Structure 1
Amino acid sequence: MVLSFNLVDEFALIALKAHITYDSQGMLATNWSTKSSHCSWYGISCNAPQQRVSAINLSNMGLEGTIAPQVGNLSFLVSLDLSNNYFHGSLPKDIGEIPQSLFNISSLRFLNLEINNLEDDEISSFSHCRELRVLKLSINQFIGGIPQALGSLSNLEELYLGYNKLTGGIPREIGNLSNLNILHLASSGINGPIPAEISISLHCTGLISLIIAFREVFQWIFVNIFLISKD
């Protein structure tokens, strides 16, 4: 049974490799080989003793392509970092949505997709990743509003959505994130007032950094608020 699960992880990684159309360093082409255990591949970490993939770090590698939907089959994945590459297109809808009939739900805690060319008209699918602590989506091409559903990520500590093409305001549900330490929305395209719920005196008692940039007519208004928690 352990072997079959390991093959699922290996197939998911092979699919990820197949969706990468350009590898500037040639690392995946030479290192990601089925002749060796996928746990020894560059950027891959596995847990013990199951030897299931727990972390992927392919940041700053100049990779170009799309994110394979099979990544959603990595049910033990805790950390995924694909930042500072050239991934493009829409996000696979099953990231973080592992069918319970096959595996346990993934305990994804750290997700960094910053500095890519990803685009989507909604980012509510991230609300399925219930264990997320850090969500970094800055410097992409995301459009639409900040979904209210993100307010259900009760474990979220850091949220980065800056430098996208978002619209609308900050949903008051974000104020439900009592563990949120950092909310970064600079140059994200959002507008409107900061909800009263996002304050140290209400729900976000742990918020220490709120960085927001609003564009109003022909001028930029930068709001940098640093709140010190009661602790």
Structure 2
Amino acid sequence: MTKPTRTSSLHTHLFLSLLLISHANSQSLQDQEQAVLLKLKSYLQSPPFLSHWIPSTSNTSHCSWQPEITCTNNSVTGLSLFNTNITLPVPPFICDLKNLSLIDLSYNYFAGEFQKAFYNCSKLQYLNLSQNSLDGKIPDDIDSLPRLQYLDLGANYFSGDILAAIRRLKELRNLQLWMNQFNGSVPPEIGNLSNLKDLNLSYNTDLVPWNLPSNFTWLKKLKTLYIRGSNLIGELPGTLGEMAALEQLDLAYN
């Protein structure tokens, strides 16, 4: 039998030390996330639909608090509280869930302006606030969410212009702004969202009459384009046929 060398013993000791540190860090993250979620439950006044959110034991984890919680590698990456009759504002501390990439708060009773607290969710890719009572303008610094791929603000009461700031959300794949009260203009700069696959501007009847910008045809990955009933006027760009990926086009009631 080969006698272990001093070097191999040191390597083994180092490996075990790193393993223990990794486990400790993982446990610390889980404890922190559980504390944030329990704080959220308390903030929402412990509604019945969260009755299964109870402090975990050594044999359980907050990652089992489904369907509201989604985890990846034992860390919370998704928070879905849709259609739960929430009326309170979104608490800023939800962004203490450092790996949160998905937030779905659709079909609730959120009111007031778009909350900039979301900007602290640095990994956020999916944000659904549709079917609420949000109003005011889309903030001009919404590009503070640079990783955003999916944004649904449909069926709210947003007004003003559809801001050109949206063009700086370079990772956007899906943009849903249907059925609001926008009473300004539509920025042609949306045509700069080169990764966009789905765009819905339908039922914005108060928009200033507008022509379909020719640079919308730069959206070479766009599969669906819905602008039904949104005060669109004039001729369609001759380059519309160059949108090779387009599968569904709805420009009715204009």
Contact 1:142–1:164 (CA under 8 A) maintained in structure 2: yes
Unaligned runs of 5+ in 2: 1-24, 246-254
Distance 1:22 1:39, change over 3 A: closer
Richer in helix (by share)? 2
Q: Which has the larger radius of gyration?
A: 2
Residue 228 of structure 1 deviates from its aligned partner by: 7.9
Given candidates 85, 89, 100, the residue that maps to 1:66 is 89
2:208 is the alignment partner of 1:205: no
Richer in strand (by share)? 1
Q: What is the aligned residue count?
A: 211
Residue 209 of structure 1 deviates from its aligned partner by: 2.1
Deviations 1:47-99 (A, max 9, x none): 11xx221011122233332211112222211211111122223333131335x
Larger relative contact order (Cα-Cα within 8 Å, sequence gap ≥ 6) = 1
Which residue does the alignment assign to 1:132? Answer: 148
TM-score by length of 2: 0.72
2:251 is the alignment partner of 1:230: no
Contact 1:169–1:193 (CA under 8 A) maintained in structure 2: no
Distance 1:84 1:230, change over 3 A: same
Contact 2:194–2:219 (CA under 8 A) maintained in structure 1: yes
Given candidates 12, 35, 53, the residue that maps to 1:32 is 53
Residue 5 of structure 1 deviates from its aligned partner by: 3.3
2:50 is the alignment partner of 1:44: no
State the distance in 2 between where 1:131 and 1:75 align.
14
Which residue does the alignment assign to 1:57? Answer: 80
State the distance in 1 between where 2:164 and 2:42 align.
34
Contact 2:154–2:180 (CA under 8 A) maintained in structure 1: yes
Distance 1:123 1:205, change over 3 A: same
State the distance in 2 between where 1:211 and 1:224 align.
14
Q: Percent identity, aligned pairs only?
A: 30
State the distance in 1 between where 2:211 and 2:236 align.
14
Residue 215 of structure 1 deviates from its aligned partner by: 4.2
State the distance in 2 between where 1:95 and 1:64 align.
17
- Bigger drift between 69-78 and 12-21 goes to 12-21
Which residue does the alignment assign to 2:213? Answer: 195
Unaligned runs of 5+ in 1: 99-104
State the distance in 1 between where 2:224 and 2:158 align.
22
SS of match in other structure, 1:210: strand
Which residue does the alignment assign to 1:76? Answer: 99
Which residue does the alignment assign to 2:196? Answer: 180
State the distance in 1 between where 2:106 and 2:27 align.
30
Distance 1:172 1:93, change over 3 A: same
Deviations 1:206-230 (A, max 9, x none): 12222223249xxxx8x99997842
